[in-house]
Amino acid sequence: MKRFFVLLFLSLIGLSIAIVVIFYADKSKTSNTVKLPTIKLPFNSFIAGTGIVEAGSKNIVVGSSVSGVVKKVYIQSGDKIKKGELLFEIDDSLIKAKLLSIKHQFDLIESLKKVSPNLVTKEKYLKLKDELYQLQKQEKLYKIYSPIDGIVLSCDISKGAFFDKNSKALVIGSKKLNVKVSINEFDISKFKDGSKAVAYIRGDDTKKIDLDYLYTIPYVKAKTTLTGSPTERTDTRVLQVVYQIKNTNQLPLYVGEELDVFIKE
């Protein structure tokens, strides 16, 4: 009986020590949560919206009306480009061979015409001349040039790969950047064209971006840009407003980046 009480006493002491250790271990742990950024609100009364950075020229998908194997690529993502700069070439060996054959026939006919004009009919001569012109025109499509001054936003073209005429592998845009802001339908009545606005980079409340109003897209559409907030509704519609970033050199911004935008009521 005495042995039973001794064991019970020792068990209670062990249990007490375990409880104390667990209590102080949990108490000494520091929180690993990250402090949420606190933005200094720019206006007393405002409309909050999500902004997407986009090129001022919009995203331009560069392609060609012909398909084929890529012969050479002269650019890569992030490169600055000039209007008229050669971007890439598609293998044109087949059309060159055909062009050479037609040109040879055309030169032969012209020689025959000089010897005896009656040897070649006018219809045959004009048909061959038109075919030569069309091939020369088509040959130019195998070299793709930049339509604007700007920057290569995305280039997934590589030498030796097949380029389809419907491909979206090369996207370029202007250096000037805009922000397309989505305003929830509940706040549309508070918005007026020309309203002042500022934006902040997500995760860094010190990076304030001044915006200039450009235009409003007068078509309310279903919301597609989600913030991830647990209270966010996905069945709402939004009005989209486009602002221009005043100074794109003040901080690094990338097309497709999301910003927190505040519009003055």
Lowest mean pLDDT: which of 37-41, 185-189, 231-235? 231-235
Cα(253)–Cα(250) distance, integer angstroms: 9
pLDDT at 229 exceeding the cut of 70: no
Taking the alpha carbons at both ends of the chain, their separation in whole angstroms is 83
Residue 104: pLDDT band with limits 50, 70, 90: confident
pLDDT score, position 50: 92
Residue type at 147? Answer: P
Q: Which residue has the higher pLDDT, 50 or 224?
A: 50
Domains and CATH numbers, the chain: 46-56+176-264 (2.40.30.170), 60-173 (2.40.50.100)
Find how far residue 106's CA is from the centre of its chain: 48
Query: Under a CB-based contact definition with an 8 Å cutoff, are residues 74 and 86 in contact?
Result: yes
Which has more pLDDT, 122 or 171? 171
Q: What is the H or E stretch that residue 131 is in?
A: helix 122-139
Q: What is residue 4's predicted lDDT score, i.e. its pLDDT?
A: 55
* pLDDT for 146: 96
Contact 173, 78 (CB under 8 A): no
pLDDT at residue 125 in the model:
76
Name the least confident of 58-62, 215-219, 226-230.
Answer: 226-230
The highest-confidence range among 193-197, 206-210, 221-225, by mean pLDDT, is 193-197
Range from 62-66, 146-150, 253-257 that averages highest in pLDDT: 146-150
Residue 87 has pLDDT above 90, yes or no: yes
Count CA within 13 A, CB hemisphere, residue 9. 6
Give the CA-trace dihedral at 153, 159, 164, 169, to 10 degrees.
-10
pLDDT at position 81 over 90: yes
pLDDT above 50 (res 231): no
